[in-house]
A and B are shown apart, each in its own frame.
Chain A
């Protein structure tokens, strides 16, 4: 893999290649978008499926995400986060918008079904084209750190963080589903996110170095 200079103030956690791809996309290079798609479409679809539920809708959101990356690549600022984090932020926002457009009732109906795949139980299925060894190793390493950080939460905290962060349920909806007081749910989410921040600060934050 070619070594490239990481842009100053760029958050690490992405490869230098990703930053180069974003610059190329900003200057209109569609093949760079295709490469970025091949790298992250699997992760993006995994998150979309978790939030949206329906495969067909999730794939539509996947297209929307990368089209937005294409259209707004010139607005991406390396100093605000690595490209992977940028793409996942767009993904969550788009998936949540899609769910809200489809109607909140449907989300609650499929909530249990979608939560069947917990991060610990998830197994990667990626196409042969995406199985580049370096990228695989990087994703694998990042996934491992995140799973470690999630594993550091107590089960009750982890559950509500996942329901809020991956399923886009409001605190009230979580409280209703778990039959817990709203205040308890909010406190657990707060404590969970603070512990995640402690666990992952220095791994992914702007000061981290790969």
Chain B
């Protein structure tokens, strides 16, 4: 195959969509050192690589950054350390000086260098251990913060459940029979504490949205939330003043960021008893 015939295969290969045999031919040609095709390959990669930008961004969890930086610290590579500053000084060459140098300076320098090597031999593993320990401490601190936050959340939920001013409303699956929700309606604070279970995690670019649906058929957004891999999610929403009595709560799936009115299918819903 000549270069022109390979042009499209190079594009395929650069995009990672070439069959194995096609990739082998391209690689063999590139390894043969064809500069024109090497240029085509580089161009193809530069053009195709940013395609995933079209997929949009998804914010990772805060702990991911911590874990990455802990891994970097634990790798213990010391690439940025400045070299020791060594200044050479001229030494006068007289007989007495020469003897002095031979008898005292040279052995002293040798001893100092030996001590430095020993010190380095001890210091380098210690430094590596220190960095690894620091990384582990950073990780543990991160986990501790997460756990503390979860404990606080659990405490607040328990307080709500104990309060006589809180009404409990259950939501059940419309689209997904297993999915469920629970609202703890704190009348004293005009807040809904909403908990979801067994909702399907949504693909990037989609989110769940909770709605107040009033007796006069208005649908008011209570906010958006995401679920974790186990399908659990939660949301605290303020109930707006002046709304007509809320008769229904529902969750739909919507584009990320939410919508002013529901556009997706109802995933779970529940009736609000008349006494509320």
Contact = CB atoms under 8 A, between A and B. Distances in A.
* A interface majority secondary structure: helix
A66 to B, nearest CB: 5
A142 B65 CA distance: 25
A114 B58 CA distance: 14
B19 A171 contact: yes
B51 A29 contact: no
Contact of A196 (B51, B69, B256): B51
Contacts of B16: 92-93, 96, 165, 168
Nearest to B52: A47
Contacts of A11: 46
B177 to A, nearest CB: 18
A209 interface: no
B17 A49 contact: no
A123 B263 CA distance: 15
A8 interface: no
Interface stretch (B121-129, B200-208, B237-245): B200-208
B48 A55 contact: no
B52 A46 contact: yes
Contacts of A56: 229
B194 interface: no
Most buried by B among A29, A45, A166: A45
A13 B50 contact: yes
B56 interface: yes
B60 A59 contact: yes
A147 interface: yes
A31 B149 CA distance: 27
Nearest to B39: A206
B47 A123 contact: no
Given A49-B204, A63-B64, A164-B17, A125 B58 contact: yes
A81 B46 contact: yes
A96 B15 CA distance: 13
Given A28-B77, A30-B73, A123-B257, A166 B57 contact: no
